[in-house]
Amino acid sequence: MNYNYQKATKWLESKGQELFGNHFKIYDEDKTIIHKLMAYSTGDEEATNQLDINLEKGILLSGPIGCGKTTLMTLMKHLASPQNKYYVKSCREVSFEFIKEGYDVISRYSKPSLHQSKAGIICFDDLGTENNLKYFGNECNVMGEILLSRYDLFISKKVKTHLTTNLSASELEHHYGNRVRSRLRETLNLIAFNNNSKDKRRQ
């Protein structure tokens, strides 16, 4: 695919202003990250091969609070090819649903529904912001269970999962265990902001 990334970046900034307000801008320091995400979202095989990104896997976008992870994954939805369309779901929202509805919530995000032939691609936003929760006295690591089930879905049906987080690899293992961390390595491309990335919310 011959893709004009300069034009795409300008379009992305315009779309960002449409969605988030005129204050939105793309920073030069983030263009390497954005280039990787655009190459992945558009399915540019030549670029992703050069960038060591596997199009069969999902994306794990990590970085400090306020660096723009959620904003970028929301924007990239508009560049994704039809077969790679996804929606963004906050991990905190998932945890609130679990409190109300219980274990059916885990199935909702990891198995096909009655109206779908397969579970869709989801970007779980802010992994690590939710806590272990109790339902009728039983404690459950909700996102850990969902991620294990999504791994099975990836293996059986090649359904991808995307994640954003401000946790490090060791923190992910502490929160969700070695099994989850191992499966994340197998199913996700890591794209990481520099730990010194500025907090855009303060700009």
The CATH number assigned to the domain holding 183 equals 3.40.50.300
Residue 33 placed within a domain:
no
The domain total for the chain is: 1
Strand ranges in the chain using DSSP code E only, listed in sequence order? 58-62, 86-90, 121-127, 133-135, 138-140, 161-165, 188-192
The pLDDT of residue 135 is above 70: no
Taking only the tens place, the pLDDT of each residue in 80-126 is 888 889 999 999 999 888 888 888 888 889 875 544 444 689 999 99
| Residue 189 forms part of a structural domain | yes
In a domain, residue 185? The reply is yes
State the angle between helix axes of 142-157 and 91-101 in degrees (0 to 180), rounded to the nearest 10: 110
Q: Has residue 160 been placed in a domain?
A: yes
Helix orientation angle between 31-42 and 69-76, rounded to the nearest 10 degrees: 30
Work out the average pLDDT over 178-193. Answer: 95
State yes or no: pLDDT of 133 exceeds 60. no
Q: What is the pLDDT of residue 112?
A: 59
Q: Residue 151 sits in which domain range? A: 56-195
Does residue 20 belong to any structural domain of this protein? no
- Tell me whether residue 88 is in a domain: yes
Instruction: Output the pLDDT for position 38.
Output: 94
Question: How do beta strands 86-90 and 58-62 pair?
Answer: unpaired
H-helix or E-strand spanning residue 65: none
In a domain, 9, yes or no: no
Let me know if residue 163 belongs to a domain. Answer: yes
What's the pTM? 0.89
